[in-house]
Structure 1
Amino acid sequence: MRDRRLALAGDRDHVTTELLRKGFRHNRHPSSKNRSPHRSGVNRTGGSPFVEDYRGAIEAALESLGEEQVRRRLVSSATTLLGLVKHVTWMQRVWFEECVGGMSRGELGLVQSPGESFRLADDDTIASVTAAHREACVTARRVVADLSLDAVVTGHRGGPRTLRWVYLQVLRELAQHCGHADILREQLLVD
């Protein structure tokens, strides 16, 4: 299986589709160890178990860290661990509430650009950002609950997309940002 994944590495969408089809599960974070294994890539009651795993993983990156630590800038950009979770919350709201749900960013009270979504307000805390992330996840599950993966959604600025496409995009972004979060967390724990 490892050789097969490496052979497909040049085409990320194909790799993701292939891994989803084969029931691949990401299990390295403690928050996912007690979940029952899923064999399908997406289920009717809330989407992809892979998306759920990464949603838990991004929150797990904040565990046992203090407010000052999660706001610390460790890279040349303005990215912080807490800002990363805030961005992931924004990203999911854009894909599920704007793209699938059809509401505009203005109606949702969202900033317009990804760069703005990393910025922390003075009153942002681990608890408030985590609560906002969880609320966005609940809303996302509710928005897609009655839709098939082949449903065409029209709220994307680039044109219509299928719900399947939206899930794969969200999965790609969550996986990428979980990797960033792992690196930032590792740097914080070394200090």
Structure 2
Amino acid sequence: MSDPFSVMVEDERIQLAAFVEEYRTLIAGVLDGLTEEQARRRLVPSATTLLGLVRHAAFLESVWFGTAVSGASRAELGIPDTVEESFLPGDDETVDSVRRHYLQVCERSRAAVVGLGPDDTVSGRGYPITVRWLHLQVLRELAHHCGHADILREQVLAAG
């Protein structure tokens, strides 16, 4: 949409998608301009890093849009069994590969809900979930992790 305010008068489906898209863009952008070392730098007691946050965002998209909509298992989607593992990039993963993977997962998430309205339900996780709730859950998680990423990125850049 060329007018950024036009979403304010669109239907709920478009509004929810627009908010999720905004946070997807922000998460993908946290790695911009970072070296591989900066992206992996741990500045908090947990294993959280900027690279790990983007990796985890791909995981959460897969859990909610992959398993909940399609019913695919974590193994079928190629994602870790635990949340903790989702934050741990492999030695072969890079800023570019993690970002590219995240963007591919986002595309898969978008495709999963094409044609579904906010009141439609999915039950791939074994219980009914409205598409509205699914978008709100992903939005909540992405916004939460964007906050973490803002602080970590500020720390990483300040440290040089």
Q: TM-score, normalised by structure 2?
A: 0.91
- Asked if residue 172 in structure 1 is aligned to residue 137 in structure 2, the reply is no
CA distance in 2, matches of 1:171, 1:140: 13
- Aligned identity (percent) is 48
CA distance in 1, matches of 2:107, 2:144: 21
Greater relative contact order, per chain length (Cα 8 Å cut-off, separation 6+): 2
Q: Which amino acid aligns with 2:65?
A: F
Work out which of the residue numbers 104, 110, 125 in structure 1 matches 2:94.
125
The Cα offsets for residues 42-73 of structure 1, whole Å up to 9 and x where unpaired, read as 329xx511110000001111111111000000
Q: Which amino acid aligns with 2:42?
A: R
- Asked if residue 69 in structure 1 is aligned to residue 33 in structure 2, the reply is no
Work out which of the residue numbers 151, 163, 176 in structure 1 matches 2:131.
163
Instruction: Kindly indicate which of the two structures has a greater share of residues assigned to helix.
Output: 2
CA distance in 2, matches of 1:97, 1:190: 37
Q: Which sections of structure 2, spanning at least 5 residues, go unmatched?
A: none
Q: Which amino acid aligns with 1:181?
A: A
* 1:42 equivalent in structure 2: 13
CA RMSD, 1 decimal: 1.6
Helix, strand or coil at the partner of 2:108: helix
Which stretch shows the higher mean deviation, 171-180 or 102-111?
Answer: 102-111
Matches within 5 A, 1:92-107: 92-107=61-76
Q: Which amino acid aligns with 1:51?
A: V
Offset of 1:128 from its aligned partner?
Answer: 0.3
CA distance in 2, matches of 1:139, 1:95: 11
CA distance change for structure 1 residues 35 and 95 in 2, over 3 Å: closer, same or farther?
farther
Helix, strand or coil at the partner of 1:167: helix
Offset of 1:114 from its aligned partner?
Answer: 0.8
Q: Which sections of structure 1, spanning at least 5 residues, go unmatched?
A: 1-33
Q: Hey, which bits of structure 1, 4+ residues long, moved more than 4 A?
A: none
Work out the number of aligned pairs and report it.
155
* 2:117 equivalent in structure 1: 148
Helix, strand or coil at the partner of 2:65: helix
Q: Which amino acid aligns with 1:89?
A: A
- Asked if residue 83 in structure 1 is aligned to residue 63 in structure 2, the reply is no
